[in-house]
Structure 1
Amino acid sequence: MTPVSPGPDATEGRGRVAVVIGGANGIGAATARLMAARGWRVALADCDAAAGGALAAALAAPFFALDVTDRAAVAALPARVEAALGPAAALVVSAGAFQRNLRVEEEDPAELDRILAVNVKGTWCANRAFGPGMARRRAGSIVNLASTAASLATPLSIYGPSKSAIVGMTRSFAGEWGRAGVRVNAVSPGITLVERVRARLRSEPGRYGADPAQTTALGRLVAPEEVAEAIAFLCSDRASAITGIDLTVDCGWGVSAGWAMYGGVRPPPA
């Protein structure tokens, strides 16, 4: 695990409350650790009670068991967080459901309901739950986790469109609450070396091609802490003029895609 840097200012959060939904593992967990290190009071919410509870204990943070597809439970979360820590100044929605790399006709249609319920409905409900309160307080920042699959063609015919929906709703919410001082942005990671992806690379070596690191301009894959840096920046006052964007963090995967027909990204000079 890459050490968490306190960054430009270890008091950046100024004791404000940041809620990380999907904060038990992967990018969400990396974000929770980083924001706690930068002075935010973090609240974690996740369906993985074991991992979420362990991380919350390590951060001295409250943990809330949460199924993001349960609209009533998500709607009740802001009040639960406020009772424990105070009103949320930042919300990170990192909960996500993934899709197997299968032909369309091989995919179980039930996957459509599962993925859309988590990625689209869950993200929409979380924004709807926290955004109006931030708007009433005239301040707040929301970051939704999308994916490079939202803007580049992939074999993931459900997952990619679900992430495109997240980018679209992010822009809609940015317009909805902008005059009230609430910023809403998305972050789109490329292939990120969370434990789930590391396991896939070991067990499904063909899922991303022979060497997925060679498909990026930088010749490597993304660390979850690097995505967390982008999220923490967008939540911070350093991003005070930024809203409605989709920030890509992919080690140049999108940049290198067009180079394949020309022999691939060039190696560094000798």
Structure 2
Amino acid sequence: MSESSLVVVVGGAHGIGAATCQVMAERGWRVAVVDRDLAAAEQLATSLGAQAYGVDVTDHAAIDALVQQVHARQGAVRALVVASGAFQAVLAPQDVDAALWDQVFAVNVHGLYRLNVAFGLHMVAQGGGSIVNVASVTGSAGAPTHAYAPSKSAVITLSRNLACEWGHAGVRVNTVSPGVTLVKRILDRWATGGGTRATSDPASHAALMRCVDPVEVARGIYFLASEDASAITGVDLPIDAGWLAASGWEMYGGARRATAKSEETV
């Protein structure tokens, strides 16, 4: 892909999506910033010399219109990043009602899938492209988010399916799975004491003993979208500061320094 290739970032006005827009622009890509929050998308696009579009990913007709608008205005799309997402509080299973379940899946699965298909078919026709979908570490491990975590498992699986469906045409489809990422939504929640995690220090549960910066996720997305990952498709890349790696250490007291010595011999 040339330096002037076009990337469409859905959910691009905030958090990981915004960081991705910035990283891609810095590395020479033309960027289409897409978000339900059109005002924020326009503000970011102006700062990057990019184009902004508004879309509700639960509106399939709007997705089809978006594809046509982007192609008419900016030309062929070489990469799609889907960073839009619906979140949920930690709830007991019986408290996850049908409305919440449907909302989470409408955005995280149905909307993402329709975006992949709508843009992906154009990539197939043009003979290549790359799609990166933002999943979550909760999609690969148990978590008390009984709608959100299964939706992210679905994102990983459908991405692998599309990678196999379109690989013959040179279209690659991958996912990234962020861990606890320091986006504004999480920072605001912690600042007001509204966190839903039992631990007061989520960084202690990762091998690197820290959380993830949005730009670190964006760099992983850039890698998968770029020709540097030309032989990589159908994979899920955790960007979690080692949270998944350390999860099995919880029964031994959690991640710790490598110099610590066990008091027992197993």
TM-score (norm 2): 0.94
Answer yes or no: is the 8 Å Cα contact 2:179–2:212 preserved in 1: yes
Query: Mind listing any 5+ residue stretches in structure 1 that lack a counterpart?
Result: 1-11
For 2:178, the aligned partner's letter is P
Q: Paired residue for 1:74?
A: 63
Distance in 2 (alpha carbons) for counterparts of 1:119 and 1:263: 34
Q: Paired residue for 1:161?
A: 150
1:80-124 deviations in whole A, cap 9, x for unaligned?
Answer: 111221110000001000011121222333101110000001110
2:97 is the alignment partner of 1:133:
no
Q: How does 1:167-206 map to 2 (within 5 A)?
A: 167-204=156-193, 206=195
1:16-43 deviations in whole A, cap 9, x for unaligned?
Answer: 1000000000000000000001010000
Distance in 2 (alpha carbons) for counterparts of 1:180 and 1:23: 27
Answer yes or no: is the 8 Å Cα contact 1:15–1:40 preserved in 2: yes
2:211 is the alignment partner of 1:225:
no
For 1:167, the aligned partner's letter is I
For 2:81, the aligned partner's letter is V
Q: How does 1:208-247 map to 2 (within 5 A)?
A: 208=197, 209-247=199-237
Q: How does 1:52-67 map to 2 (within 5 A)?
A: 52-67=41-56
Q: Paired residue for 1:207?
A: 196
1:156-195 deviations in whole A, cap 9, x for unaligned?
Answer: 0100000011111100100111000000001100110000
Distance in 2 (alpha carbons) for counterparts of 1:203 and 1:118: 26
For 1:84, the aligned partner's letter is R
Q: CA RMSD in A?
A: 1.3
Distance in 1 (alpha carbons) for counterparts of 2:2 and 2:193: 40
2:256 is the alignment partner of 1:266:
yes
SS of 2:89's equivalent?
Answer: coil
SS of 2:157's equivalent?
Answer: helix
* CA drift at 1:60: 1.5
Q: Paired residue for 2:17?
A: 28
Q: Paired residue for 1:9?
A: none
Query: Mind listing any 5+ residue stretches in structure 2 that lack a counterpart?
Result: 261-266
Answer yes or no: is the 8 Å Cα contact 2:91–2:146 preserved in 1: no
**Alignment size in residue pairs:** 259
1:123-153 deviations in whole A, cap 9, x for unaligned?
Answer: 1000011011101111100000100010110
2:77 is the alignment partner of 1:88:
yes
1:65-88 deviations in whole A, cap 9, x for unaligned?
Answer: 100000011112222111221110
1:242-263 deviations in whole A, cap 9, x for unaligned?
Answer: 0000110000111111111112
